[in-house]
Amino acid sequence: MEEKTRLSRLTAILTQLQSKQILTAREIASKHNVSIRTIYRDIRTLEKSGVPIITEEGKGYSLMEGYNLPPVMFTEQEANALITAEQFIKQNNDLSLVTEFQNAIEKIKSVLRYSQKEKVALLSDKIQIRNNATNQNKSDYLMTIQTSISNTKLIEVNYDSLQGEKTKRILEPFALYSTQENWLLIAVCRLRKDFRVFRLDRIQKLVVLNDFFEPQKMTLQEYFEICKEKYNTPDIPLS
């Protein structure tokens, strides 16, 4: 039983390594609820079995670039969780997220075993998520903004504020968060020379510029803490 548990953990560690650029032993140990010393032994076992794991002193572990794992096999519960998530995503107010997730879920479904596909199809017809229809406004920029954040590229937006003010702004996108009805962009606005929050469904046009910006050093949680001290709430007034 112990060997089976360890084998499952080794397989899971491989998947975990494939999913991120670099992982620390502490992150892996926390995920599997074992000691860091156990993870050191697991990493050595994987290396001895031929898995090309790169150890970066003081940083962590990563897989050698170009190394591909066999197709991931999902348990029935994991496949069901993905189908349930698909139904939630379909109700999202951002069309770009809906489109890209459906593309991704189709690729995931393609690697399911034949017996799983039949059950997944059945479950898809048996789940329905009803959304609160109070806000019918849609956005289509979430995926573009995510890419701009990860590539530190400036964006230019035509924005129609809640107060009816129409402006063109150049933004340094910092982070995204979601309320029950809206996706919100936190960005440094070069027009206002400070952080501002923008509703994605109020963006009328968005262009990714070729210019880069210097990313902020703070984390999103640190930003919320600053806002809490300044406004006594993490949600600063919307632009």
Do 118 and 146 lie in one domain? The reply is no
d(CA 147, CA 95): 16
Is 134 part of any domain? no
Answer yes or no: is 100 within a domain. yes
Integer angstrom CA distances of residue 104 from 91, 100, 108, 187: 16, 6, 6, 28
Specify whether 80 is located in the same domain as 33: no
Alpha-carbon span 184 to 150, nearest angstrom: 17
The last residue of one of the domains, among 22, 38, 63, is: 63
* Cα–Cα distance for residue pair 59/78, rounded to 1 Å: 30
Same domain for 43 and 86, yes or no, is no
Q: How far apart are CA 177 and CA 220, in angstroms?
A: 10
Question: What CATH number did the domain enclosing 182 receive?
Answer: 2.30.30.520
Separation between Cα atoms, residue 156 and residue 51, nearest integer Å: 45
For residue 127, what pLDDT band results from cuts at 50, 70 and 90? Answer: confident
- Amino acid identity of residue 208, one-letter, is V
157 and 217 inside one domain: yes
Q: Same domain for 227 and 146?
A: yes
pLDDT digits (tens, 9 = 90+) for 5-49: 777 788 888 888 877 778 899 999 998 889 999 999 999 999 988
Cβ within 8 Å of residue 59, ≥6 positions away: 22, 24
pLDDT at residue 135 tops 70: no
Tell me if 239 is assigned to some domain. Answer: no
Q: Do both 181 and 158 map to the same domain?
A: yes
Q: In what order do the strands lie in the sheet with 183-189?
A: 194-199, 183-189, 166-178, 153-160, 203-212
Beta bridge partners of 187: 173, 196
Domain count, the chain: 3
Task: Please check whether residues 50 and 80 belong to one and the same domain.
Answer: no
pLDDT, tens digit, for every residue of 76-101?
A: 788 888 888 888 888 888 999 999 88
CATH of the domain at 24: 1.10.10.10
Q: Which residues have a Cβ under 8 Å from the Cβ of 21 and sit 6 or more positions away? A: 62
Residue 170 has what pLDDT?
97
Question: Does some domain include residue 131?
Answer: no
Q: Is 21 among the domain residues? A: yes
Determine, yes or no, domain membership for 71. no
Is 102 part of a structural domain of the chain? yes
| pLDDT tens profile 58-72 | 889 988 887 766 666
| Whole-model pTM over 0.75 | no
Shared domain check, 117 and 167: no
Q: Structural domain of residue 20, as residue ranges?
A: 2-63
